[in-house]
């Protein structure tokens, strides 16, 4: 086991050299094919009528970059040894390109999540939206800047450049896989925060889950929760269990997966770890954090609720009253649908 420190990029990477029973190029092709298919599936099934955001544009750019890497791997794997514009490409370059992508993905977790949370923190309480054309252009510029910064950081670090040069002497059945500690620390921090939140309001969560009912609204089955409320003002203590239920109701499998990965100490290669489903999982968590921090500033408008393409946060804030639903059994209860 060896480790490389990217001093200028704030990232630790661990890799293991393993003799592969089959050609590593074929394995990388199959892995990237599965990842690209998953990215496209998530981008297709997500809600389309959502506000534009930095994270949405970054997810699209990540899917495009994964697709470009897949095409490069397929092209080199098919032709095996060829020259293009005076440069000779062999199967060694499949491993090289994958390692560069892995290292770049690994150092972008912190910057991407920081920009995303700042974007939501500023825009979540805006009463007027800026022109969409200018907003799109701004997001595109920021996304391109982050990718350029990431690739420049990786390619200009002497320690990493020397290590990539050493890989030329590896056989076709060896290709070190890099795992980023940034993703590990983000997962640990998320689980820690969710654990602390559950401990602080577990009674409210249990009460809401025990009162859950399934009703039909607008032709779709929805969950109805009955909870006691003294007033309708925004209270972070009352809001927290609703945010937790809405978040875990959608992303519970991902939370369980993170618990298993951290418990086993598994190191997932960075080129697999950063994917579109993972980014939308983080996106929902960041939105929940911003909603909780700025609950007093949230504007109760339909455009506010169209921020997340996978989780509906609307009924975490406003009581739901509908003449077509049955009234609450006890006086003083409020109906909330998540």
One pLDDT digit (tens) per residue for the chain, 338 residues: 333 444 444 444 444 444 444 567 788 889 999 999 999 999 998 887 888 899 999 999 999 999 999 998 888 877 776 666 666 666 777 888 888 899 899 999 999 999 999 999 888 766 556 667 888 999 999 999 999 999 998 888 765 655 555 555 554 556 777 788 898 899 999 999 999 999 988 887 787 777 767 666 556 666 666 655 444 445 677 778 888 888 888 899 999 999 999 999 888 888 898 999 999 999 999 999 998 888 777 665 555 567 788 887 776 655 543 444 444 344 333 334 34
The pLDDT assigned to 322 comes to 41
Neighbouring CB atoms inside 10 A of 28's CB total: 23
The pLDDT assigned to 40 comes to 95
Structure tokens that stand for 334 in this block:
């409020």
The pLDDT assigned to 329 comes to 41
Q: Shortest CA distance to 177 belongs to which of 270, 262, 111?
A: 270
Are 5 and 12 in contact, with CB atoms under 8 Å apart?
yes
Are 43 and 194 in contact, with CB atoms under 8 Å apart?
no
Structure tokens that stand for 116 in this block:
């995303």
Neighbouring CB atoms inside 10 A of 59's CB total: 25
CA distance 86 to 84: 5
Question: DSSP code of 316?
Answer: G
The pLDDT assigned to 113 comes to 96
Terminal-to-terminal C-alpha distance of the chain? 47
Are 317 and 224 in contact, with CB atoms under 8 Å apart?
no
Output the pTM of the full model.
0.80
């Amino acid at each position: 086991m060896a480790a490389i420190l990217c001093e200028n990029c704030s990232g630790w990477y661990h890799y293991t050299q393993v003799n592969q029973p089959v050609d590593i190029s074929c394995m990388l092709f199959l892995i990237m094919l599965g990842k690209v298919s998953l990215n496209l599936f998530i981008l297709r099934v997500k809600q389309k009528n959502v506000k534009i955001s930095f994270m949405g544009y970054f997810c699209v750019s990540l899917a495009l970059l994964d697709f470009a890497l897949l095409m490069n791997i397929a092209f080199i794997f098919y032709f095996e040894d060829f020259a293009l514009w005076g440069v000779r490409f062999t199967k060694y370059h499949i491993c090289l390109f994958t390692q560069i992508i892995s290292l770049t993905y690994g150092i972008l977790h912190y910057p991407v999540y920081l920009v995303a949370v700042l974007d939501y923190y500023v825009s979540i309480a805006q009463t007027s939206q800026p022109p969409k054309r200018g907003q799109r252009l701004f997001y595109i510029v920021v996304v391109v800047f982050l990718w350029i910064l990431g690739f420049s950081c990786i390619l200009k670090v002497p320690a990493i450049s020397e290590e990539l040069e050493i890989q030329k002497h590896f056989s076709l059945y060896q290709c070190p896989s890099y795992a980023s500690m940034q993703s590990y620390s983000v997962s640990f921090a998320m689980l820690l925060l969710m654990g602390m939140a559950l401990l602080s309001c577990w009674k409210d969560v249990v009460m809401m889950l025990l009162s859950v009912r399934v009703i039909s609204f607008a032709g779709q089955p929805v969950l109805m929760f009955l909870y006691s409320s003294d007033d309708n003002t925004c209270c972070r203590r009352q809001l927290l269990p609703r945010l937790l239920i809405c978040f875990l109701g959608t992303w519970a499998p991902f939370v369980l997966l993170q618990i298993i990965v951290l418990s086993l100490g598994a190191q997932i290669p960075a080129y697999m770890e950063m994917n579109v489903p993972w980014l939308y999982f983080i996106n929902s968590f960041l939105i929940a954090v911003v909603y909780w921090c700025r609950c007093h500033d949230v504007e109760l408008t339909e455009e506010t609720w169209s921020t997340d393409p996978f989780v509906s946060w609307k009924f975490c804030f406003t009581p739901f009253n509908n003449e077509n639903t049955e009234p609450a059994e006890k006086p003083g209860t409020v109906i909330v649908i998540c």
